[in-house]
Amino acid sequence: MGILEVKDVNKRFGGLKALSEVNLSVTENTVHAIIGPNGAGKSTLLNCLVGKLIPDTGSVMFDGQSVLGRKPFEINQMGISRVFQTPEIFGDLTVMENMMIPLFARRDGAYRLHAFRSVESEAELRSRAEAMLEDVKMLDKRNMHSASMSRGDKRRLEMAMCLVQEPRLLLLDEPTAGMARADTNNTIDLLKEIKEKRDITMAIIEHDMHVVFSLADRITVLAQGTPLVEDSPENIKGHPKVREAYLGEAA
């Protein structure tokens, strides 16, 4: 039994069948990649997991509880954090403040009106934030205005914001989309490091094969809204159906 169980999920947009009979199971402490050509339904599937879309039929269970009908912030409170395709951070805030917000969300829940306490006085949360920044090698940038950072740094910061919440499942939506090769490699290294250092479950939606094969323990191939195969990276590489649906197209 995986930590995330997707069962018989269907989703239509008007006449277009975006997802049909999707089944997926993500095991704890593995990196599970979901790949597929453009329009295969990867993003739709992800949006169903985080509460942005609700499937027409089927179920999505996280740790034995249904996520369907819950709002994104409730799903995050269940333990699912999400990294976006283009880094989503609080651009008007400093790096340190960016780190404090997820920590407050974990400690205080979805809302709590601490109007008379100073952010400065939260020594314990601050030290946790600093430790996390140290981990992603950004401690020296902690007072920087985050919008002025490079895209690679923004990506690091976003990861750090998700990781500091100690999520039980980290969802990554094409974390290297639109990146130059060097940046992509940096991101892969960062993710590898994260994977080695902590026990973490990740689900990655990705287009780039290089990324997928360097990280994933398990791969699901999605084509036209349906899972084609699910297997280990080695087996996927040689799978004829996959070659036909995906690699053939890429080659």
Give the amino acid at 149: M
Helix (H) or strand (E) holding 11: strand 4-13
Helix (H) or strand (E) holding 106: helix 95-108
Residue (39 or 72) nearer to other proteins, CB: 72
Give the amino acid at 192: K
Cβ 220 to other proteins shortest distance, Å? 23
Q: Which of residues 63-122 bind other proteins (CB under 8 A)?
A: 71-73, 76-77, 81-82, 84, 88-94, 96-97, 100-102, 104-106, 108-120, 122
The length of the chain is 251
Cβ 250 to other proteins shortest distance, Å? 26
Cβ 158 to other proteins shortest distance, Å? 8
- Contacts with other proteins by CB under 8 A: the residue count is 44
- What is the contact mask toward other proteins in residues 37 to 56, using x (rule: CB under 8 A)? -------------x------
Residue (84 or 213) nearer to other proteins, CB: 84
Cβ 75 to other proteins shortest distance, Å? 8
Applying CB under 8 A, does 13 fall inside the site for other proteins? no
- The CA distances from residue 61 to 46, 65, 164, in Å, are 13, 5, 23
Of 10, 13, 26, 7, the C-alpha closest to 172 is: 26
Cβ 52 to other proteins shortest distance, Å? 9
Cβ 127 to other proteins shortest distance, Å? 15
3-class secondary-structure state, position 61: strand
- The CA distances from residue 85 to 12, 18, 162, 174, 179, in Å, are 23, 20, 14, 5, 10
Count of other CB atoms within 10 angstroms of residue 36? 24
Beta strands per DSSP E along 74-212: 80-83, 169-173, 202-206
Residue (205 or 212) nearer to other proteins, CB: 205
Applying CB under 8 A, does 192 fall inside the site for other proteins? no
Binding site for other proteins (CB under 8 A): 50, 71-73, 76-77, 81-82, 84, 88-94, 96-97, 100-102, 104-106, 108-120, 122, 143-145, 148, 161, 165
